[in-house]
Structure 1
């Protein structure tokens, strides 16, 4: 991967633009004697920042704050996102450790088709080279979640076909000292612990120390016994200094260091249909050794300065590293696992070996999916407010330089099944299955102007992505890296991404808004696919009056080229990492959400919330594909793993010392593969209704007793059939614990 100095020498326009931004400050920086902006609230790297700001954006945006997260003591990001319209999640492990998230039909596989951020910084292990989120930030550590769609998502990039999600970590508290500690105990020996301590002193220095500790034995039952759960340790330290604005421009510097370690006894192997109906939480003996270990470290250094009440600048330098080793069953006697589970009678011997029957040597192949990721970059954003006689302007210009890479060095080991146990018969040589490095280097520029003229707000924006991709393949031997590469492929993508949003204050709390955006999704290193491009449109109305707020949006995304990526998590059957052009497609739908608090000034308040999504998505041309989710596609076929309707309802009651909350999610049926008309039984993912209940009672002071039940009705539902066989959602799970805050 090229270093930063070499890149500047080769592509000087980025440096020129950075200098131009700083030069633009020279005139107005000290135009006023005292700055009026507090640097504590200033960070343009952050995306939305508050629920109030979300209501001002000229596009669909939602801010889910700390209260909504703490009502249910959420540790599963999928349960958080279900309350956001236009967002789709497909469960895999039941705990939300590796979520599959899509926005407005973008596709859900490993959340790789949306822009994922933490605190405004790209957080996927390799956001350009390999965006599949095998690492996902720990939900319990978050203080808010932001969702952006349409033109609102253009400022972040690089993926704008669906939208963006930004997770906001726990901030340093403003008090001299504050803290939080909570622990919940539940079924399957589950322990969910979370604690933080921090504060800000009069001299401007502040700190935060935070940790999340989680464990579960798992809700699936492995043939012959054994754990199917996970262990997670996630720790974070923040150190900050804020200047005294009386001594000059308000400034804030923050250093963040974090580390996450996860060990999950997780598998891609599901169940045959008959076994799912009889014992949905069973796991076959051949998945006994399946395990994924993920280590993630990140470091960020931030600086924000408010030169005056009109001009500010935010900068962040970041680096994160992720290693991921997933040791999991690949096939049985050369036959794909999906084929065996789809027809156990036709593959009776192979199925018997999967379920514990004695097998020949080398019958079971386990792949050590060993990958290492690196990402680093620098991002800066300038804000400049100009107040004119007839209009005000809020200008923003940002530059980001980003590098990332994915390193694969993998082998296959072969086993036999004997007396229900797996015995190693032929170990593989390191690097013999895959030995390659994919990397990306990207410059991104963004410029926008929020123009306010009376009740009208216009928000034109323009993004430019300049991406260089490279894939280097080595001989598949342990010594392959010491030899010349067997293949080197390079590609270059340059893309302008315009977006335009507008809003009109209709009065009485009503706002009309709309946007038009170019959607873009870059291909991966070594891919022959064209970039994914679309034209995205939305038109909506927003209400914010008293205790009532809501939003209704119609959207239409017209894809010139929809791209699919072959991964093991989609079922394999093709060259892993290969990409496929799906041609024209359209996504259309409606989104609505509503929030109201009844009796909000009374002794007992009743918060009510709801969100609804309707989506109609189809291919608009016919083609054949080795991508299993698509297969043979005819014009008019509906897209897979995209429910037509989603509904979420939340009802609560809050007293002075207690609260109770009930949420219900209804998910419509989905297709496993592209098609139209009635869904064949073997390709149908049935609908589900998932109800959660949570309650808290303040025992004394700030000490609270907590309780919650997830999947209260105990519904047994099919979450997915990919990658291999039927996979269940998590069963009814009850938890009880305590929380202390000061």
Structure 2
């Protein structure tokens, strides 16, 4: 299937030709617009969005010097992020209280292209997008989601990759820090006539703060080239490999209380992931007011996860390979057996998306009409094997299943400007997907069973913006939809099963603006009523598997501001103070948990940062993060059980520091970062099985060298 995906992309590239029309050539300085944006990079782009949105710029990324993507996204109002592995190899992202596991309820894009394992039937993200390859991150909630899909529930996150430069550019960057952490990045870009290109590779490794070694590499190449006087295209190729310790068992209650910094209980648990992607984005100007942007893409992901057999309830007469903890205390030990389970997953996705934009006027109204669609095929192959000893990757086949889905989507949106200060944006999206499953082996017996499930979703929405860049109000409503998905229980012996789709209605109302040069602010109220939501099984003692939890309510407010103290004090040194606060109330509507909070949905979160940039090249940042308490089950159990699976997860306060110096004549930069300054110990999650601590204090030193050549004629 991998060969099919890349053959198709290559065929599309060879077959693409552009007609020579009389319109002017595309301005080469606009190359970064070629990727599909959900906000845009113009100064007033966010003001035109009829909903809450955040753009994390290259300047923000440079100031923060993040170790992983999770650090960056924690600063977005309404977003909660959990770093799942000690190397940041996986992250769980939640928006406004929706279920966060594997980021499955957030539409994740890279340059406008889906990056989930299977966007329709298994929208998990089993890899963390590597922060090294991005120059910007866009986050949009509300009705703006209907242009993308298929997930139109909480929000959309779009990662924008590095751009081919208009001159020769070389960059090298190295970090080293606690727990033998090391990261190295190298990038080279240049031009060749009308062609621009960039290539980048990154490598990171470390022992992990819980003795979970990881080794990760990723690479990216982009080529921007003209296709005629009125067209241009970008070809992108990428890969990522993660090789890391990956346990699924946390510490029981008494073990965590005695030593919360105990290393991983399961050192033989391991995960290997390989991902390859290719895409072609082509833009054809069909006139001064019309353009057609076409995306063709394909990617494959394969992941093998080795999980040793274990239990907390030993059987009499059974000889266990290892016993970790105190077996004299009830629930105080974990018993590891002689075997293991190997879960292998292979995924392939191939799609094409034409996006047509036309500007026109009818009377006093100006229209920007967006119409487009998507054709997509996705495949998955599951196998589960039982090994005779914990370190084996072989094992006897227990379960095998194949799945394929064919999806089609179409959308229409009209951004209507009745006046310069009044913008109304109605739109509609239609999704259809047919999924087929083929079970080849189950319960150690060969069999052949098939199943087919077609699903159609209609997603209407409307938004409005009134005001100017200085001050505006906005509001929107849209129908939230996510197609039914196939899930696998986290239990090592679990089997795949089909869940219902998510569906509900969401509303937003808010204001944003920059009334003064020294103040930018935004505040948004939101409410979502879901007829059904897929979330972690809320029952006490659940293993973290997904379930249809029924009707839920989500409402709250999120806000953010940036205060330019240097503009108030009228000094040349940049002094920026940023702050963001979110209140989110996510609860069950009916059933045994009616009125209770959803699991892993904190009500309050707040973060702030203070940045200093002196013209001499010295600068720094102080950052603070607060997340309020949350529950691990639908019963909202406060007392922790013996195994650490249920119970209140206490609030946390985390401080980070960063200092840097840039010597402009040489292009050299030096930085020092201290994450979790006070070395706070806290529980970040109790799923799937027990207490998992958050990252400990980590010190990092780094050096970066950048060189720009003269701009070529």
| Fold shared per TM-score above 0.5 | yes
> Which of 363, 380, 383 is the equivalent residue of 1:406?
380
> Whole-Å Cα distance in 2 between the matches of residues 45 and 66 of structure 1?
17
- Please say if residues 44 and 382 of structure 1, whose CA atoms lie closer than 8 Å, have aligned partners that are also in contact: no
1:185 aligned partner = 176
Q: Which secondary structure state, in structure 2, belongs to the residue aligned with residue 294 of structure 1?
A: strand
Tell me the CA shift for residue 79 of structure 1.
0.9
2:590 aligned partner = 621
Tell me the CA shift for residue 497 of structure 1.
0.2
1:473 aligned partner = 439
Tell me the CA shift for residue 180 of structure 1.
2.0
Normalised to the residue count of structure 2, the TM-score between the two structures is: 0.88
**Alpha-carbon displacement from aligned partner over 1:588-608 (angstroms, at most 9, x marks no partner):** 010001012221463211011
> Which of 207, 232, 236 is the equivalent residue of 2:220?
236
> Which of 153, 174, 188 is the equivalent residue of 1:197?
188
Q: Which secondary structure state, in structure 2, belongs to the residue aligned with residue 232 of structure 1?
A: strand
Change over 3 Å in CA distance of 1:344–1:458 after alignment to 2 = farther
Change over 3 Å in CA distance of 1:649–1:240 after alignment to 2 = same
1:460 equivalent to 2:426? Answer yes
Aligned residues: 668
> Which of 374, 383, 400 is the equivalent residue of 2:357?
383
> Which of 535, 539, 550 is the equivalent residue of 2:505?
535
> Whole-Å Cα distance in 2 between the matches of residues 387 and 200 of structure 1?
39
- Please say if residues 44 and 381 of structure 1, whose CA atoms lie closer than 8 Å, have aligned partners that are also in contact: no
Tell me the CA shift for residue 298 of structure 1.
0.6
Alignment of 1:512-591 (within 5 A): 512-525=473-486, 527-545=497-515, 546-564=517-535, 573=543, 580-591=547-558
- Please say if residues 253 and 640 of structure 2, whose CA atoms lie closer than 8 Å, have aligned partners that are also in contact: no
Q: Which secondary structure state, in structure 2, belongs to the residue aligned with residue 589 of structure 1?
A: strand
**Alpha-carbon displacement from aligned partner over 1:33-68 (angstroms, at most 9, x marks no partner):** 546766625437332222631232111111101111
- Please say if residues 184 and 204 of structure 2, whose CA atoms lie closer than 8 Å, have aligned partners that are also in contact: yes
> Whole-Å Cα distance in 1 between the matches of residues 537 and 281 of structure 2?
37
Alignment of 1:167-566 (within 5 A): 167-174=159-166, 176-201=167-192, 203-221=193-211, 228-242=212-226, 248-249=229-230, 251-283=231-263, 287-332=266-311, 351=333, 353-354=335-336, 363-415=337-389, 428-429=395-396, 431-432=397-398, 434-454=399-419, 455-476=421-442, 486-505=448-467, 509-525=470-486, 527-545=497-515, 546-564=517-535
> Which of 709, 712, 715 is the equivalent residue of 2:677?
712
> Which of 54, 57, 66 is the equivalent residue of 2:58?
66
- Please say if residues 86 and 210 of structure 2, whose CA atoms lie closer than 8 Å, have aligned partners that are also in contact: no
Change over 3 Å in CA distance of 1:44–1:101 after alignment to 2 = same
> Whole-Å Cα distance in 1 between the matches of residues 97 and 625 of structure 2?
19
1:8 aligned partner = none
2:493 aligned partner = none
> Whole-Å Cα distance in 1 between the matches of residues 470 and 41 of structure 2?
18
1:116 aligned partner = 108
- Please say if residues 324 and 334 of structure 2, whose CA atoms lie closer than 8 Å, have aligned partners that are also in contact: no
**Alpha-carbon displacement from aligned partner over 1:126-173 (angstroms, at most 9, x marks no partner):** 111222211232122111111111101121111111111111111111
1:725 aligned partner = 690
Tell me the CA shift for residue 586 of structure 1.
0.4
1:142 equivalent to 2:131? Answer no
- Please say if residues 125 and 135 of structure 1, whose CA atoms lie closer than 8 Å, have aligned partners that are also in contact: no
**Structure 1: gaps spanning 5 or more residues:** 6-24, 222-227, 355-362, 416-421, 623-632
Change over 3 Å in CA distance of 1:563–1:479 after alignment to 2 = closer
Tell me the CA shift for residue 341 of structure 1.
10
> Whole-Å Cα distance in 2 between the matches of residues 273 and 477 of structure 1?
34
- Please say if residues 172 and 207 of structure 1, whose CA atoms lie closer than 8 Å, have aligned partners that are also in contact: yes
Deviates more, 1:587-596 or 1:307-316: 307-316
- Please say if residues 310 and 334 of structure 2, whose CA atoms lie closer than 8 Å, have aligned partners that are also in contact: no
**Alpha-carbon displacement from aligned partner over 1:351-390 (angstroms, at most 9, x marks no partner):** 3634xxxxxxxx3442111111111111110111113441
Change over 3 Å in CA distance of 1:181–1:37 after alignment to 2 = closer
> Whole-Å Cα distance in 2 between the matches of residues 508 and 33 of structure 1?
31
> Whole-Å Cα distance in 1 between the matches of residues 444 and 593 of structure 2?
45
> Whole-Å Cα distance in 1 between the matches of residues 264 and 205 of structure 2?
22
> Whole-Å Cα distance in 2 between the matches of residues 412 and 566 of structure 1?
26
> Which of 701, 707, 710 is the equivalent residue of 1:736?
701
Change over 3 Å in CA distance of 1:714–1:651 after alignment to 2 = same
Deviates more, 1:588-597 or 1:672-681: 672-681
- Please say if residues 628 and 651 of structure 2, whose CA atoms lie closer than 8 Å, have aligned partners that are also in contact: yes
> Whole-Å Cα distance in 1 between the matches of residues 56 and 391 of structure 2?
49
> Which of 640, 647, 654 is the equivalent residue of 2:613?
654
- Please say if residues 631 and 637 of structure 2, whose CA atoms lie closer than 8 Å, have aligned partners that are also in contact: no
> Whole-Å Cα distance in 2 between the matches of residues 524 and 423 of structure 1?
32
Q: Which secondary structure state, in structure 1, belongs to the residue aligned with residue 179 of structure 2?
A: coil
> Whole-Å Cα distance in 2 between the matches of residues 177 and 88 of structure 1?
39
**Alpha-carbon displacement from aligned partner over 1:679-737 (angstroms, at most 9, x marks no partner):** 66751111111111111112452111111011111111111111111111111100112
> Whole-Å Cα distance in 2 between the matches of residues 528 and 408 of structure 1?
15
> Which of 594, 616, 622 is the equivalent residue of 1:635?
594
- Please say if residues 198 and 223 of structure 2, whose CA atoms lie closer than 8 Å, have aligned partners that are also in contact: yes
1:607 aligned partner = 576
- Please say if residues 213 and 232 of structure 1, whose CA atoms lie closer than 8 Å, have aligned partners that are also in contact: yes
**Alpha-carbon displacement from aligned partner over 1:467-494 (angstroms, at most 9, x marks no partner):** 11111111249995xxxx5211110111
1:20 aligned partner = none
1:15 aligned partner = none
- Please say if residues 99 and 105 of structure 2, whose CA atoms lie closer than 8 Å, have aligned partners that are also in contact: yes
Q: Which secondary structure state, in structure 2, belongs to the residue aligned with residue 475 of structure 1?
A: strand
2:658 aligned partner = 694
Change over 3 Å in CA distance of 1:233–1:677 after alignment to 2 = closer
> Whole-Å Cα distance in 2 between the matches of residues 556 and 532 of structure 1?
16
2:624 aligned partner = 664
Q: Which secondary structure state, in structure 2, belongs to the residue aligned with residue 140 of structure 1?
A: helix
**Alpha-carbon displacement from aligned partner over 1:660-693 (angstroms, at most 9, x marks no partner):** 0111110101100013586667511111111111
> Whole-Å Cα distance in 2 between the matches of residues 381 and 674 of structure 1?
42
Q: Which secondary structure state, in structure 2, belongs to the residue aligned with residue 712 of structure 1?
A: coil
> Whole-Å Cα distance in 2 between the matches of residues 154 and 508 of structure 1?
24
2:67 aligned partner = 75
Tell me the CA shift for residue 289 of structure 1.
1.1
1:10 aligned partner = none
